[in-house]
Structure 1
């Protein structure tokens, strides 16, 4: 049992209030007035006026790929990459993470063998990871050959979120751009001519992609796996995906499609790096503008873990929305989208997944501590335990 005291708490109803937060057995027990004494036997941590926020929930992050392959065709051990990624996420306030694993028709980094190894290593290492790390399987729908294996994987309960991707046309176009073909080929381990030939053979099977996708969606629905459609290009496409059970719209390409998704009641997932950069790196929907118009409901790290924390404060600083609403984009809205009912808010009975943030420099907020299920797994405060008046306290060193 411990108390986070001397801070400002973002409560479950979206209000920031002065007070202390009581945590018992890994669960939030309640918010105490600053004047209230800590219960007997509680450890007390004075956070010195910092914000006490729900831990960040990242529904789509694939920056771990840079730990796996920091340079083209340069591979690092899977366990090392996952453990290092875990440290990065905790230091950035992420307490629940859905690793966006692409299972593609490509060999190499995003291919079948790499995906199998990743899933096995994630299962083996999960007890050693601080962040509650889950699997977001990104299925490239041109990958017909692996449908039976993916069906079994969905039925096994190892997949927490399924997204349907179709990047083959954009990859094919990119191969024709100067300097791009070699980079893509290096990622796959194929020669450039072999990569062209593989894509051409898959395009000949295009008529079979949607029926295969529908079969996989039915299996996912049967086993309660949340589903997303990726890069929705139009309202009509979003309607088709919604009918298939893909209730999350991930990175819609334009405002019209995002509005259609919201009209259907679908969460709309956008990238936090888009906020920091002032727009999309590939000329698509501007995330800040979409959120300001009520079209974006969830932010994800996408390819940069620090972006989630920074983007929420950037939105508040730029006047796009108030900080509690901005923080909802990375916490309770994400929990609701994924069907997580035990976290995402600071409310009695929920998991004590928390991040303590120093916002004295609003343009560059810093995580001071991260708690997952009541355990302090990142600590930048230099804390030590002390005995005070028969109680155990934690104070800054």
Structure 2
């Protein structure tokens, strides 16, 4: 440790606009990858963590953490919350630029400092939501043009493999992006994957559209018939993303895999992540192939899948889950993590890893996700005074964000 690390900032101080590049945070309970360090001191230099050490008597700090938990900034690898922010009620669509700013506030309140927004390159209904290529392109443009962001915004490109217009649009988009973007291939045709039991989708239509039971069945029949006419598009799409993945041009996620055979095909295709496996068989196969596994935080909070699929809690108990994603509820990340602690499934470091270091691994980000020397100083202070964790302060790293868009 250098003498400089013993000193406070002393170079312009702290403003309300955000944390400086150099500061010392004292008297926190630092959640490290393998333990919780009580009464810790975190030294930040040039926006990176320089030291995490005991706060010994006589050493100074710029701000007192008052004994709160200090976590790495949360990484959310799959968020569909922005599309809900844009369309809070049917027919009440808001400007996407406003929705992004509004949703950013919810992300910060949840302790999220890095987010991958789902942009659905599809036309029609998938997973119960109306999506369009136009909306996806507008979302991408809004994120591209969003300046002075308080959160590191990235895009998870979600490709409906049976949508020809979505495939064409994503081809155009990926020709313009830098880095190695995250791409998820998905097929929400009822009768497989997420809706392996089509009755769950029929019930959704009955509940949200007011269809009678027979009418919902007819709608699902028509959807399956229409999508089965596009099997050649599916083959073309999977071949294309496989070529990109094998060339290292994208990081490929397989969405809703439901069998060991599907995991094997994903690996052959160059896939890197199993996202929301719908069965225990698929989750086990993914880990056997060395793939990280992502499950939804709402699944854990609810104690099971709303579609009758695999339980996140049960897969976590078997050590099959690498990361949790918010899916559609950012505040669910910390709540799910501490639920796992409360019910004795995991200790605090292991639970927090699911929404920080594990999620960073899923995204292929090696510069964040842990309170460790040399990593980005994305810091979150959390109070555990009530039943649910409460984010009290978010200190994003004062360093430029690398682009994967």
Aligned residue number for residue 396 of structure 2: 372
Using the TM superposition, give the Cα deviation of residue 318 of structure 1 relative to its aligned residue in structure 2, in angstroms.
Answer: 0.5
The alignment status of 1:160 with 2:213, answered yes or no, reads no
Return closer, same or farther for 1:134/1:221 CA change in 2, 3 Å cut-off: farther
Which of the numbers 252, 256, 265 marks the counterpart of 2:281? 256
Aligned residue number for residue 23 of structure 1: 44
Aligned residue number for residue 56 of structure 1: 74
The alignment status of 1:215 with 2:237, answered yes or no, reads no
Return closer, same or farther for 1:194/1:276 CA change in 2, 3 Å cut-off: closer
**Are the equivalent residues in 1 in contact too, given 2:71–2:371 (CA < 8 A)?**
yes
1:274 aligned counterpart, secondary structure: helix
The alignment status of 1:289 with 2:314, answered yes or no, reads yes
Aligned residues between the structures = 365
Return closer, same or farther for 1:185/1:212 CA change in 2, 3 Å cut-off: farther
Distance 2:70 2:172 in 1: 41
2:124 aligned counterpart, secondary structure: coil
Q: What's the TM-score once normalised by structure 2's chain length?
A: 0.83
Distance 2:264 2:59 in 1: 52
Aligned residue number for residue 266 of structure 2: 241
Distance 2:227 2:311 in 1: 32
Paired residues for 1:321-332 under 5 Å: 321-332=346-357
Using the TM superposition, give the Cα deviation of residue 328 of structure 1 relative to its aligned residue in structure 2, in angstroms.
Answer: 0.5
Which of the numbers 342, 346, 360 marks the counterpart of 1:317? 342
Aligned residue number for residue 44 of structure 1: 62
1:168 aligned counterpart, secondary structure: coil
Aligned residue number for residue 132 of structure 1: 152
Distance 1:130 1:116 in 2: 22
Structure 1 segments of 4+ aligned residues over 4 angstroms from their partners: 12-15, 36-39, 170-176, 181-186, 192-199
**Are the equivalent residues in 2 in contact too, given 1:11–1:17 (CA < 8 A)?**
no
Distance 2:35 2:357 in 1: 10
Distance 1:176 1:226 in 2: 29
Using the TM superposition, give the Cα deviation of residue 12 of structure 1 relative to its aligned residue in structure 2, in angstroms.
Answer: 4.5
Structure 2 alignment gaps of length 5 or more = 1-21, 212-216, 400-405
Return closer, same or farther for 1:220/1:105 CA change in 2, 3 Å cut-off: farther
**Are the equivalent residues in 2 in contact too, given 1:55–1:354 (CA < 8 A)?**
yes
The alignment status of 1:110 with 2:134, answered yes or no, reads no
Using the TM superposition, give the Cα deviation of residue 203 of structure 1 relative to its aligned residue in structure 2, in angstroms.
Answer: 1.9
**Are the equivalent residues in 2 in contact too, given 1:175–1:184 (CA < 8 A)?**
no
Q: Deviations over 1:119-175 (max 9, x none)?
A: 1111111x2321101000111100123433322322322672100110123589569
Q: Deviations over 1:33-60 (max 9, x none)?
A: 2116556xxx611111101111100000
2:145 aligned counterpart, secondary structure: helix
Distance 2:287 2:248 in 1: 25
The alignment status of 1:9 with 2:27, answered yes or no, reads no
Using the TM superposition, give the Cα deviation of residue 293 of structure 1 relative to its aligned residue in structure 2, in angstroms.
Answer: 0.7
Q: Deviations over 1:258-286 (max 9, x none)?
A: 11111111111001111111111111111
